[in-house]
């Protein structure tokens, strides 16, 4: 049966997926965690994962990891049994975000990573109910500081220069789940509905309440159950009985 590859997002490691991976394993799925992504482009990230991953694979990515998962499907559709795109943006970097990245990179080079994460990133990541969740906030900061300034700068530049994947969406003929938090301000629900419409009948859209952009940390059980329910409906993704 296909193995699930969990792909982390920008400044995230496998702690992002910890409860979700455990729940998928308990449901009978094989799970593998991708290492934090450090290559110099989305294409290079996707190529590295394709070279080191057995096929067929169920690629499930969060945010930047979802962009990489989609690029894997574009490059090697026969290798990807299904796609889980969590907090996904299929388009190129928005102008306002692209304009902010060089300034953030410059500050991080001067030792400002913690301030950027605490004051510019985290306020935009979380649903209202979760903004004071100490465990989530600590995990976000710990992952970012653990990966460090060089990874932040490299990933920021990769995101700034990424291609628009929207033209590839209608060609995805594998099952695709698009999941997002109801309060995601970075990649809002209406975007995911649009991506699902562009992909067509093999796409499933799931909106999860009381979550922002950091859906895997804010509502891990709800997301895991959504993934398990979706996989159970897809014959190629079902566990052996």
For 55-83, how does the pLDDT look when each residue is reduced to its tens digit (9 = 90+)? 899 999 999 999 999 999 999 999 999 99
For the cut 80, the answer to whether the pLDDT of residue 238 exceeds it is no
Q: Determine, yes or no, domain membership for 25.
A: yes
Question: Each residue of 189-221: b (16+ CB within 10 Å) or e?
Answer: bebbebbbeebeeebbbbbbeebbbbbbbbbbe
Query: In degrees rounded to 5, what are phi and psi of residue 183?
Result: -115, 25
> CB-based burial of residue 21 (10 Å sphere; 0-12 exposed, 13-18 middle, 19+ buried)?
buried
Tokens representing 167 are: 């033209």
Q: Determine, yes or no, domain membership for 10.
A: yes
Q: What distance in Å separates the CA atoms of residue 149 and residue 157, rounded to the nearest whole number?
A: 12
Give the relative orientation of helices 134-147 and 149-161 as an angle to the nearest 10 degrees: 90
Global confidence as pTM: 0.96
Quick one: pLDDT band at residue 239, thresholds 50, 70, 90? low
pLDDT confidence of residue 236: 67
Q: Determine, yes or no, domain membership for 127.
A: no
Q: Determine, yes or no, domain membership for 122.
A: no
For the cut 80, the answer to whether the pLDDT of residue 241 exceeds it is no
Q: What is the DSSP letter of 174?
A: S
What CATH number should be reported for the domain holding residue 63? 3.40.50.1820
Residue 180: domain span? 3-93+158-237
Contact 135/162 with Cβ under 8 angstroms?
A: no
Question: How many domains are there within the chain?
Answer: 1
What does each C-alpha distance from 151 to 13, 104, 158, 159 come to in angstroms? 12, 13, 10, 12
User: Any residues with CB less than 8 A from the CB of 161 and at least 6 apart, and which?
Assistant: 41, 93
SS3 63: coil
Q: Determine, yes or no, domain membership for 149.
A: no
Quick one: pLDDT band at residue 144, thresholds 50, 70, 90? very high
For the cut 90, the answer to whether the pLDDT of residue 234 exceeds it is no
Q: Determine, yes or no, domain membership for 146.
A: no
Q: Determine, yes or no, domain membership for 117.
A: no
DSSP H/E element including 71: helix 64-75
pLDDT confidence of residue 240: 54
Q: Determine, yes or no, domain membership for 181.
A: yes
């Amino acid at each position: 049966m296909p193995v699930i590859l969990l792909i982390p997002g920008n400044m995230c490691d496998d702690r992002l997926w910890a409860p979700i991976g455990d729940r998928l394993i308990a449901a009978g799925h094989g799970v593998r965690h991708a290492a934090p992504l450090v290559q110099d482009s989305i294409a290079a990230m996707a190529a590295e994962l394709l070279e080191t991953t057995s096929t067929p694979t169920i690629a499930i990515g969060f945010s930047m990891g979802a962009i990489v998962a989609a690029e894997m499907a574009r490059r090697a559709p026969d290798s990807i049994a299904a796609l889980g795109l969590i907090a996904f943006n299929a388009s190129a970097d928005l102008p306002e975000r692209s304009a902010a990245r060089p300034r953030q990179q410059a500050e991080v080079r001067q030792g400002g990573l913690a301030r950027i994460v605490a004051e510019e990133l985290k306020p935009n990541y979380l649903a209202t109910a979760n903004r004071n969740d100490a465990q989530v906030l600590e995990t976000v900061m710990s992952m970012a500081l653990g990966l460090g300034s060089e990874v932040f700068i490299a990933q920021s530049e990769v995101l700034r220069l990424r291609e628009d994947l929207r033209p590839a969406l209608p060609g995805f003929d594998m099952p695709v789940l698009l999941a997002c938090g109801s309060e995601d301000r970075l990649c809002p629900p209406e975007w995911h509905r649009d991506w699902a419409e562009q992909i067509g009948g093999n796409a499933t859209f799931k909106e999860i309440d009381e979550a922002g952009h950091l859906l895997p940390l804010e509502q891990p059980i709800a997301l895991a159950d959504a993934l398990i329910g979706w996989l159970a409906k897809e014959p190629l993704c079902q566990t052996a009985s």
